[in-house]
Amino acid sequence: MIFKENSLSLDFSNYKAKAGSLLLAEPFMNDGYFKRSVVLLAIHNEKEGSLGFIINKPIKNVSLADSIKIFSNAKDWPLYFGGPVQTSSLFYIHTLGDLVEDSKDLGHGIYFGGDFETIKQLVIKDEATPQDIKFFLGYSGWGEQQLEEEILNNSWLTTPARKELVFGKCIENTCWQKAIYHTPHFYVAHFPQNSMWN
């Protein structure tokens, strides 16, 4: 399917997804979880599936300290809704590289996972900030070939991640628009959220 709005065709299917990519929801996606979402892909394997985190949906009125008791000092740390899978589990990405053992390098200065004890101590001792580590409850997952099919159906546009976007103040539609500006489809950034709105 190619989206059409006022006779304009949008073909997002020329872009390949890979770990370290951002997935940008197509402008009129109305899915309750993914509407105007920006998803950082942390794992992508066409045969085994994909895993990523929605980076622009902070959980409203909930801080890291509110949800995870060991982080009682982290009252100013936002906690993000990473996706609808395993929503009671904590996940994290960071910019700390080799400082956190067993981290997966996603490129662009962004890392996924790694030794939780190191992460915990850095937060408890105030040696890291929300610009260094981003925490999520839950993740977004796709089965074998599922994400490729969704991209071919123009549900997602992919683009390389940018550290300043992923770890900056990346809130909902504003973040989605900023990410879209860095793609060849920048002109869709101001499309209304509902195709019936003019």
Please give the model's pTM, rounded to 2 decimal places. Answer: 0.87
Q: What is the pLDDT of residues 50-106, one digit of tens each?
A: 999 999 999 999 999 999 999 999 999 999 999 999 999 999 999 999 999 999 999
Tokens of residue 133, six digits = 């580590």
Q: What fold, for 3-188?
A: VC0467-like (3.40.1740)
Looking at the chain, which runs of residues are DSSP E strands?
Answer: 3-5, 8-10, 21-25, 38-45, 49-54, 58-63, 78-81, 85-94, 104-107, 110-112, 133-142, 156-160
Domains of the chain, by residue range, sit at 3-188
167, 171, 173, 178 alpha-carbon torsion, rounded to 10°: -30
The vertex-43 CA angle with 181 and 31, nearest 5°, equals 55
Q: What is the pLDDT of residues 132-191, one digit of tens each?
A: 999 999 999 999 999 999 998 889 989 899 999 999 887 777 888 888 887 777 667 666
